Amino acid sequence: MAKIVNITNGEGTSELINGSYTVTAEVNGYDNSSINPSSVEVLAGTNAYAFTIGATGTLTLHVSEDGTTTGTPIVGATFVRCDSTGTEYGTTITTDTQGDAVFNNVPYAQENAPLVYYKQTASDGDHEFDNTVQSTTLTSSTATVEVENTPGAQRTISLTDANYANLPIDSATLTMTN
């Protein structure tokens, strides 16, 4: 007899008797044949079982100064996959010389594609970036999202003598490290 286990936020429950089970999956956007393990022995005293499933899509985040395909690419910007709350998963991906950060093995589906969450964690040191959680969907096996990292704003820095109010320093060098 088949038992259906509905999964929400990665977990579900079902009353199962001890025995051997073949496991199949119906997960939109994932390769359902990749369910692992595909069989399980449910044993007395063991009440938790874990499974994994893989996806085969590719998400490219193309980062440029103006957020277009023809803009100046940003090399060294970093991104990470996350959930909707910003909890990070997996390894950090860094943009290459073309300004591309590539996430492999993300879910995609032509219809009802699941949301793929990510956030930028750094830029190249010369550009501003948005570190809020972003999301997209992949309706084909590959997708590219354009990301804008604008140059840092021009700032005016003044240096005056601490002992003589408003007396400008003629010549100096300040190093500002973040």
Residue ranges of domains in the chain = 1-54, 57-148
Q: Which amino acid is at 128?
A: E
* pLDDT above 80: residue 1: no
pLDDT band for position 38 (50/70/90)?
Answer: very high
In the chain, pLDDT over 90 holds for what percent of residues?
94
Exposed, middle or buried: residue 88 (CB in 10 Å: 0-12, 13-18, 19+)?
Answer: middle
Asked if pLDDT for residue 64 goes beyond 90, the answer is: yes
- State the DSSP H helix or E strand holding residue 100, giving kind and residue range, or none if neither: strand 100-106
- Architecture of the domain spanning 57-148: Sandwich (2.60)
Mention every residue, 6+ apart, whose C-beta is less than 8 A from residue 35: 23, 24, 25, 51, 52, 53
What's the Rg (C-alpha) of the chain? 25
pLDDT at 171: 95
Overall average pLDDT of the 95-108 stretch: 98
Q: What band does 111 get if pLDDT is binned at 50, 70 and 90?
A: very high
On the question of pLDDT at 178 being above 80, the answer is no
Residue 97 has pLDDT above 80, yes or no: yes
Single-letter residue type at 95 = T
* Whole-number Å distance between alpha carbons of 89 and 125: 24
